[in-house]
Amino acid sequence: MFEDKERKLCIICSKGTLDMAYPGLILANAALMEGIDVTLFFTFWGLDIINKKKMNHLKFVPIGNPSMPIPNSVGGLPGMTNVATAVMKREIAKLDFPGVQEFLDMIADAGGMLYACKMSVDMFHDMHMMNTEDIYERVEGVVGATDFMEMSEDAQIIFI
C-alpha cells in the first residue's frame, strides 16, 4: 500500500519570454486543481513574469529556436519578434488561456505561493533593470536559495 502523503510541487521559472512563462503557469494551475501544494520561484529572467512593468508585455523571440518553421535569418529581421509575439498571443487567446497577470492571480487565489529570488532581484536592481517596487503584489516575498531549499523539501521540482 502507498502511504497517503501530501504532494508538493516547486516550479523554478528562469526565463521571461512568453513561451517560457506559460509552461510553469499551466503546470502550477493544473497541480493546484489536483490538490497539490504549489510554490513558484522566479529567478533570473523569470523575474519578468512577476515584474509589474513587463508581465503583460512578454515577448516570443523566434530566433534561435530550432522548432520554429522559419530560418534564423528571417526570424532575426526587424519586427519579427513583434509578429511572432502577436501570433502566439492570438493562439493563446484561441485556447481561452488567461493572460500572465490573470494566470498569476488564479494561482495565488487557489493557494499557490509565489516567490522572487533574492540574488536575482539584487543583481537586477544593481543593473538598474528592476526595483523591489516592480515586483507583483501577489508575490509572497523575496527569498534566498537556502530558503527555497527549505520550501522545496520533499517536493517535486521542475526547472523551466
Q: What's the CATH number where 16 sits?
A: 3.40.1260.10
Confidence (pLDDT) at 5 = 66
| Amino acid found at 61 | V
Count of the separate structural domains present in the chain: 1
Q: Can you tell me which residue has the cell 544593481?
A: 126
The answer to whether position 14 is within a domain reads: yes
Considering the domain boundaries, does residue 83 fall inside one?
Answer: no
Range of the domain at 128: 8-59+101-159
In a domain, 130, yes or no: yes
Which residues of the chain carry a pLDDT beneath 70?
Answer: 1-5
- Residue 2 domain flag: no
* 117 located within any domain: yes
**Domain presence at residue 93:** no
DSSP 13-65: E---SHHHHHHHHHHHHHHHHTT-EEEEEE-GGGGGGGBTTTGGG-----TT-
Residue 158 to residue 138: CA distance in whole angstroms: 21
80 occurs within a structural domain: no
Listed in sequence order, the residues at least 6 apart from 138 whose beta carbon sits closer than 8 Å to its beta carbon are 104, 105, 108, 114
Q: Is residue 150 part of a domain?
A: yes
For residue 101, give the H/E element and its range. Answer: helix 100-109
Question: What pLDDT is stored for residue 81 in this prediction?
Answer: 86
